[in-house]
Amino acid sequence: MKGLLVIGVILGGTVSATAQYALSPLPPLTPTACEAGLAPLAQFQALPAIADTGECVAADVVLLSGIALPDRTKVAVVPPATLRCTMAAQLVRWVREDVFPAMQVMAGSAIRRLDELGSFDCRTQNHIPGARTSEHGLANAFDVGGFRLADGRVLALTDVKTAKTWREVLRGSACARFTTVLGPGSDAYHEEHIHLDLAERHNGYRICQWEVREPVVEAKPLELQSKQAVAKIGEPVPLPRPRPISAAEPVKLKSKNAARGSVE
């Protein structure tokens, strides 16, 4: 029954990416160890192993559609993501253990949706012909667009209008959990989303390239600045106000005989 349900989801076109690989063999009826551990934390369906004629292969694949938060609310993954179970489990832990607490402190509203901008896709890195197979082609990567809150706000991770402190917290936690984190500043392909994956590298090498940027303050043109400076320099300097006459000082008046030293 489980296998028939999965086939129905695929044939119905719920997730277009799943159409890129064969529908057989059916997923095992017995959950894998990863699936058993993921079951209390997320809403998902087991999928057949990815067995492409090229290099796009992956076993223990799931269709992740929701994440259960510690407060028993649910975060919908839209659209559902096709991932290796290990990648799905790490994504779920990141949202539950890192994003959720940070959101409670800084956003003041509950998470309701995680916007998925990319999961399994049988392709090369950045769609460049001849390049290595992308971790997306191995169902080992997830592209985050942002989070939608219960009050209607959208917190995009690459939007400079989103609180910088919150983005810095998520950057730190993501780089601790995933072996690759790419965002603004990494290359032109990741300016508007955050790429997360669990690529295995020699000696456990990790990549964390995500600049948490601030809004750009537009500087005044140099010509305008010069004109303003000249205007200030050319302004007349006001003369001091005349000193008031003190009542204790006698008023001396000059007469026509003043030249001879006489005083009237």
| Predicted local distance difference test score (pLDDT) of residue 234 | 55
Structurally, at CATH architecture level, domain 65-209 sits in 2-Layer Sandwich (3.30)
> Residue 260: pLDDT above 80?
no
Per-residue pLDDT reduced to its tens digit, 173-184: 999 999 999 999
Would you kindly state where each structural domain of the chain is located, as residue ranges?
Answer: 65-209
pLDDT tens for each residue of 47-89? 999 986 678 999 999 999 999 999 999 999 999 999 999 999 9
Query: Could you please report the per-residue DSSP string of the chain?
Result: -HHHHHHHHHHTTS-GGGGGS---SPPPSSPPHHHHHHTTTEEEEEEPPEE-SSS-EESSEEEEEEEE-TTS-EEEEEEEEEEEHHHHHHHHHHIIIIIHHHHHHHT-S-EEEEEEEE-----BGGG-TTSPBPGGGGT-EEEEEEEEETTS-EEETT-TTS-HHHHHHHHHHHHHH-SEEE-TTT-GGGSSSEEEE----GGG--EEE-----PPPPPPPHHHHHHHHHHHHHSPPPPPPPPPPPTTSPPP---TTGGGT---
pTM comes to: 0.73
pLDDT at site 117: 96
